[in-house]
Amino acid sequence: MQSKKTQHNIGVTALYCRLSRDDGMEGDSNSIQNQKKLLSQHAKEQGLDNTRFYVDDGYTGTNFDRPGFQKMIEDIELGYISTVIVKDLSRLGRRYDTVGYYTDTYFPDNDVRFIAVTDNVDSDEGENEIAPFKNIINEWYAKDISKKCRASYRIRGNSGEPLSQPPYGYVKDPSDKKKWIVEPEAAAIVKDIFQMALEGKSNETIARTLQERKVLIPKAYWEEKGYNRGGKVRQPDKYRWCKTTITKTLTQQEYCGDIINFRSYTKSYKNKKKIVNPKENWAIFKEVHEPIIDRNTFETVQKMITKTKRRAPKKENGEKNMFCDFLYCADCGSKLWHHTNSTNKDIHFFSCSNYKKDTRGTCATRHYVRADAIEQVVMLELRRLAKYLETNEEEFAQLLADKTNADMITEQKHLEYELNKALARNSAVTNLLAKAYEDNVGGKLTDEMFMQLSHKYEVEQFELKGKIKEYRERLARIGEMKQNKDDFIKAVRKFMEMKTLTAPMLRELIDHIDVYEKEGASKNYTQRVVIYYRFVGVLDLPDRQENYKADTRKGVNVEYIPASKSA
């Protein structure tokens, strides 16, 4: 049987390094380079040869959502890491509760040895009574640094130094990072946006115009120019401008040459969520840099924005339409959005959120359906369902049983096959990793080749782990299908008692509804509607009669084909 120390020597030894701007006050001892030297030397002294660095350069210790740290945790979850070494406890983090969780619970539960070199902490040598106090001191240090940074931030902001990144149209002056200069190419687009607004064009029209002109959105523009700017995940279509981007551009006072600081704030050094600051708390400094938009133009646009008529709220009687979030486009899979007719506020309808003519999307047709029509169709279908249950209870129960059993058997066989395949491959990859390690130790495989192979196997094993978890969860849910069938029958019985359709009842009975594009003449057409019930999916009852006709508009004959009759 292997000793504990021998077991530690087999796995990967993680050498974790972290440095943030706040650590600059402590001199060069915490530099990434010096941390690497110290950790490598200590690992060598402990006889730990299979080492790998995990580095977070420029990340605060109060936040544990760091890429290097999270990668190390993933590898621990996969069982690759047997030892974690850090320079001191503060490198792991500066929150005593979270650091304590990892050192006292997480690492022992995963059989990981933890070493903090300069703090003389080694889990193989038993508990260290001083470690909790050092964690508290490290958090105090973070709190003290936060206070100093906030004070410095406040001084800089009140002196007129810009605290935020320059908006689209400006860049930082290469010779003085505290100043902004105009970037002609982007500034020309900003001027065009304001000009179109002065001409009375809506934000949607402006966005559409820029898209048609193939103008890069700000995030894509910054990436193309090589500017290191943060932001959300990149928009798949780099030319698709959003109305919100236009709105933000038109309301940004910085384009007049002003600096505005303290638009937002955070509650503490632990909570980094930004909170909008009331306007009276802003610090505004006028005419600091060259303006892109003259002040008269900017103020004129602001007046136009405030006078713009808001669209009618997409609610009926003050409440959200019950079919919101239930209707989907049968062709592209996008949600149908709820709208109110601009001239007749009594008409409410749904249309595809991805329709190319309304939202500059990719769906070719609108999939228009009136809210009152879809309600009538669903009500009629549910009444038919309830009637069938009332008159043919045994047949209805058997229909559900046959459907759920057939679905269950098919799904179960598929999942069991995929699970066994994933388990077998996972076992094979584990053996391949062990073989690669043995070949590397025996000199048959170079370190470079071993790292390449191990990385490839690690990525595959990580993906396999996710699949195995998913398959097991889905197999566990199959056992709930009988209970789901009983719950569905209870929900239909409840509808029979209520005789009306409410939002809670809709959620209890229906998963979603697919709406197809209408077919036929403009005033005499059919439209297919497929209802997917919770737990059981589409139900095609044997007593199918004529299509439903929704009584919504005079002179317009619409037939709705529910379920799968025309499939």
- How many of the other CB atoms lie within 10 Å of CB of 563? 20
The pTM of this model reads: 0.43
Handedness of CA 346, 347, 350, 355 (dihedral sign): negative
CA proximity to 516, closest of 359, 332, 383: 332
What pLDDT score was predicted for residue 4? 47
Distance CA(209)–CA(539), nearest Å, equals 46
Q: Quick check: 372 pLDDT over 80?
A: yes
Type of residue found at 268: S
For residue 519, the cross-strand partners are 526
User: Are 510 and 532 spatial neighbours (Cβ–Cβ below 8 Å)?
Assistant: yes
Q: Quick check: 234 pLDDT over 70?
A: no
- Tens-digit pLDDT profile for residues 479-534: 655 556 667 777 778 777 776 777 777 877 888 899 999 887 766 788 888 888 87
Distance CA(291)–CA(214), nearest Å, equals 25
Lowest mean pLDDT among 139-148, 197-206, 407-416: 139-148
Task: Give Dmax (Cα) for the chain.
Answer: 89
Name the pLDDT band for 7 (thresholds 50, 70, 90).
very low
Q: For residue 19, what are its two tokens?
A: 């440095």
What pLDDT score was predicted for residue 565? 42
Q: For residue 559, what are its two tokens?
A: 């037939």
Q: Quick check: 54 pLDDT over 90?
A: yes
Type of residue found at 472: R
- Tens-digit pLDDT profile for residues 418-448: 888 888 888 888 888 888 878 888 888 887 8
The gap from C-alpha 164 to its chain's centroid, in whole angstroms, comes to 24
User: Are 334 and 348 spatial neighbours (Cβ–Cβ below 8 Å)?
Assistant: no
Q: Quick check: 192 pLDDT over 90?
A: yes
Distance CA(366)–CA(518), nearest Å, equals 9
| Segment 106-134 mean pLDDT | 80
> Which long-range CB contacts under 8 A does 104-110 form with residues at least 24 apart?
110/76, 110/77
What pLDDT score was predicted for residue 304? 81
User: Are 85 and 13 spatial neighbours (Cβ–Cβ below 8 Å)?
Assistant: yes
Radius of gyration of the chain (CA): 32
What pLDDT score was predicted for residue 139? 62
The DSSP secondary structure of 12-51, one letter per residue, reads EEEEEEEE-GGGGGGGGGGSHHHHHHHHHHHHHHTT--SE
Cα end-to-end span (Å), the chain: 64
